[in-house]
């Protein structure tokens, strides 16, 4: 049996026992459907109500761990979640509202300029600057995917920026804390400390989170298509995630 076979066979998780859990949720592809353009993801009444109810039921043991900026997370979730790790862990807002932010890598402006120059070849490209990272989205420019990956690899090698391959996106980020590091930081403090961590995510960037909760005695839930993963359970998509979370309330 191959690793792929094992991944496909991952079972769906039982409803989480909120009285025992600390919950860490990715946003895009987990709580919200992937959109062709990042700005197209907007607040949703069902999602906002759900995270508000979960946060209350968990006594604050809910954190969103996302590649988006902090401002974008707050926009999409309408400010209902205090504990947030943004830009893949480079920005972290603690349960008391304190914000920690890494210093930006000096070559980010150069990387952004090269992405913009490259993107001029096709109007489907989107260059997203996040302060501590820059992303080149090519969901609407798929014929150029291989060239986009080559460019990102080249810039990363030349600058020392950390390259993260995502779902139709290449992102160059300031080296520093990951999603997993943020999870461990949250788990070291109240109200998360002492509870079983559950991390739910869909992308390769969420593997750090799966590994962190596994080390802490918790579980990871992979969302979407099967792939090699440290997660132990699997849900098929965003609707299944929302249904699963609502079943716990």
Closest CA to 24 of 228, 172, 181, 226: 181
Instruction: Given the residues 5, 26, 153, 243, select the one marked as catalytic.
Output: 26
Do 97 and 134 fall into the same domain? no
Helices (H), 62-135: 70-76, 108-119
Asked, for residue 4, whether it belongs to a domain, the answer is: no
CA distances from 32 to 35, 191, 194, 217 (A): 9, 25, 29, 27
Q: What one-character DSSP code corresponds to residue 172?
A: E
| Count of domains observed in the chain | 2
Asked, for residue 5, whether it belongs to a domain, the answer is: no
The encoded tokens of residue 136 equal 């080149």
Do 93 and 115 fall into the same domain? no
Do 139 and 165 fall into the same domain? yes
CA distances from 7 to 202, 203, 220, 224, 227 (A): 13, 14, 12, 11, 6
Closest CA to 88 of 239, 212, 221, 226: 212
Do 169 and 181 fall into the same domain? no
Q: What is the pLDDT of residues 132-171, one digit of tens each?
A: 999 999 999 999 999 999 999 999 999 999 999 888 999 9
Give the domain-ending residue among 173, 202, 230.
Answer: 173
Q: What is the pLDDT of residues 35-44, one digit of tens each?
A: 988 999 999 9
CATH number at residue 153: 3.30.70.1020
The encoded tokens of residue 56 equal 């209350």
Asked, for residue 161, whether it belongs to a domain, the answer is: yes
Global pTM reads 0.93
Q: What percent of the chain has pLDDT over 70?
A: 97
Asked, for residue 6, whether it belongs to a domain, the answer is: no
Q: What is the pLDDT of residues 105-121, one digit of tens each?
A: 999 999 999 999 999 99
Do 137 and 119 fall into the same domain? yes
User: What pLDDT was estimated at residue 4?
Assistant: 44
Is 59 considered catalytic here? no
- Considering only CA atoms, give the Rg of the chain: 18
How do 83-86 and 169-173 pair as beta strands? unpaired
Do 181 and 97 fall into the same domain? yes
The encoded tokens of residue 169 equal 């996106």
Which residues form the domain of 84?
15-102+177-247
pLDDT tier at 8 (50, 70, 90 boundaries)?
low
Do 188 and 78 fall into the same domain? yes
CATH number at residue 54: 3.40.50.1000
Give the separation between CA 143 and CA 208, rounded to whole angstroms. 30
Do 226 and 199 fall into the same domain? yes
């Amino acid at each position: 049996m191959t690793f792929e076979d094992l991944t496909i066979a991952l079972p769906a998780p039982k409803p989480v026992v909120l009285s025992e859990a600390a919950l860490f949720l990715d946003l895009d592809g987990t709580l919200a459907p992937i959109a062709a353009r990042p700005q197209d993801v907007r607040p949703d009444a069902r999602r906002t109500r759900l995270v508000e109810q979960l946060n209350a039921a968990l006594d604050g043991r809910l954190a969103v761990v996302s590649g988006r900026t902090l401002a974008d997370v707050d926009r999409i979730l309408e400010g209902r979640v205090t504990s947030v790790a943004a830009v893949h862990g480079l920005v972290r807002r603690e349960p008391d509202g304190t914000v920690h932010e890494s210093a930006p890598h000096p070559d980010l402006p150069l990387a952004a300029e090269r992405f913009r120059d490259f993107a001029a070849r096709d109007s489907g490209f989107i260059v997203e600057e996040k302060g501590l990272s820059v992303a080149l989205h090519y969901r609407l420019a798929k014929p150029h995917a291989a060239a986009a990956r080559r460019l990102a690899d080249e810039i990363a090698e030349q600058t020392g920026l950390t390259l993260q391959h995502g779902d139709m996106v290449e992102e160059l980020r300031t080296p520093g804390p990951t999603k997993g590091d943020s999870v461990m930081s949250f788990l070291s403090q109240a109200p998360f400390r002492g509870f079983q961590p559950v991390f739910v995510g869909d992308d390769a960037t969420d593997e750090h989170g799966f590994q962190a909760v596994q080390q802490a005695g918790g579980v990871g839930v992979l969302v979407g298509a099967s792939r090699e993963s440290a997660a132990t359970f699997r849900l098929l998509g965003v609707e299944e995630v929302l249904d699963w979370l609502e079943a716990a309330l």
